Chain A
Amino acid sequence: KAGVTQTPRYLIKTRGQQVTLSCSPISGHRSVSWYQQTPGQGLQFLFEYFSETQRNKGNFPGRFSGRQFSNSRSEMNVSTLELGDSALYLCASSPGWGQGTGTDTQYFGPGTRLTVL
């Protein structure tokens, strides 16, 4: 099976712009989660989508949003970019059948490295 794919791999934007990142999960997986990694804050959970519905959300401002399509592919959008949004954005997929019981192993994509100038 192909792994989790993320596009683009690298992105440079300027403050105030918006950006959309894409994640394609492993075939058959229905849960997609997004994480932000920065040197200062480490790895932090953004949100999770399961069957096109947001099932869980982290503590990020409303500028961060996402959605999931019927084929389980997910997009993440950041509006009005700030310098502090520069980070590695990681997407993880899991079967989702565990329904949050902890029985799902999560598999990560290679990430999108976003630089905001």
Chain B
Amino acid sequence: EADIYQTPRYLVIGTGKKITLECSQTMGHDKMYWYQQDPGMELHLIHYSYGVNSTEKGDLSSESTVSRIRTEHFPLTLESARPSHTSQYLCASSEYEESYTFGSGTRLTVV
């Protein structure tokens, strides 16, 4: 039974569209993260949050934005999608600086 949920699982969208990738967790974790994953590459941290109303940019420059209005919800928004945004996006949460719980991911294709 998944404790962290990502929707949609797959998304194909046209260039210039605005999209929001949803991520919700039921564990009450304060820390949440968004990673971008491309084949053969390390996972890149693009955003993270240590609690409500706290968001930070990660190590990889990203044109996306995030919000953290509720502990359980950490959506990621792309205002204007481009083909370079085609990737898999993974959401994760953690309680301390230890192990992460990951969602199943959203595979985004921008055409």
- A and B assemble together: no
A residues sitting closer than 8 Å to B (CB atoms) are none
B residues sitting closer than 8 Å to A (CB atoms) are none
